[in-house]
């Protein structure tokens, strides 16, 4: 009486394990491939002005919403505002209701595409509610900029 599996049984198990690993790998690859359009890049207004924005691909732009730049168009639904990184500016157009925490002089991130006129057409706008989580490099960059209104920079860059 032999309690060890036969050579055929071991081959079947090995084949099953191989197919299982291959199937999981294939499924993972398909999920990642299907989500490739959902991955968007964060680009500053300066990089957009330098022509480094992807063409006909969604990406995110972020910065400080310029004070006095928010305007609602005649249709009552579309809003235009300007986002700046204290060096360059980009006009953003969004059709929909802005988040409650969206306000001028605060940071915001918009996801969308850049049209031929250089206007960023956003499909989603997110308001940054707490600037204390802003990356250190961005804090330093904003602190060194002279072009921004001092009150905006003070609200974003808080010494710790």
pLDDT at residue 56 greater than cutoff 80? no
* Least trusted range by pLDDT, from 77-91, 101-115, 138-152: 138-152
Run of H or E including 84: strand 78-84
Q: How many CB atoms lie within 10 A of CB 44?
A: 22
Q: What is the C-alpha to C-alpha distance for residues 160 and 145, in angstroms, rounded to an integer?
A: 19
Q: What DSSP element (H or E) covers 92?
A: strand 89-95
Structural domains in the chain, sorted by start: 41-131 (2.40.50.140)
Q: What is the DSSP letter of 100?
A: T
Longest dimension (CA), the chain: 88
User: Terminal CA-to-CA distance of the chain, rounded, Å?
Assistant: 75
| Residue indicated by tokens 């999981």 | 24
Q: What is the pTM of this model?
A: 0.64
30-47 pLDDT, tens digit each = 998 887 766 656 788 988
pLDDT tens, 111-124? 999 988 889 999 99
Give the model's confidence band at 158: pLDDT under 50 very low, under 70 low, under 90 confident, else very high. Answer: very low
């Amino acid at each position: 009486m032999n309690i060890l599996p036969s050579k055929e049984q071991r081959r079947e198990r090995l084949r099953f394990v191989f197919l299982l690993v291959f199937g999981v790998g294939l499924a993972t690859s398909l999920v990642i491939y299907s989500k490739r359009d959902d991955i968007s890049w964060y680009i500053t207004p300066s990089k957009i002005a330098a022509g480094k924005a992807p063409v006909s691909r969604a990406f995110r732009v972020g910065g400080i919403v310029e004070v006095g730049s928010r305007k609602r168009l005649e249709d009552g639904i579309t809003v235009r505002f300007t986002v700046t990184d204290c060096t360059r500016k980009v006009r953003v157009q969004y059709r929909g209701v802005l988040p409650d925490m969206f306000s001028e002089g605060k940071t915001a991130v918009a996801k969308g595409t850049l049209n031929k006129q250089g206007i960023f057409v956003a499909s989603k706008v997110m308001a940054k509610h707490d600037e204390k989580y802003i990356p250190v490099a961005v804090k330093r960059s904003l602190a060194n900029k002279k072009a921004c209104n001092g009150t905006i920079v003070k609200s974003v860059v808080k010494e710790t």
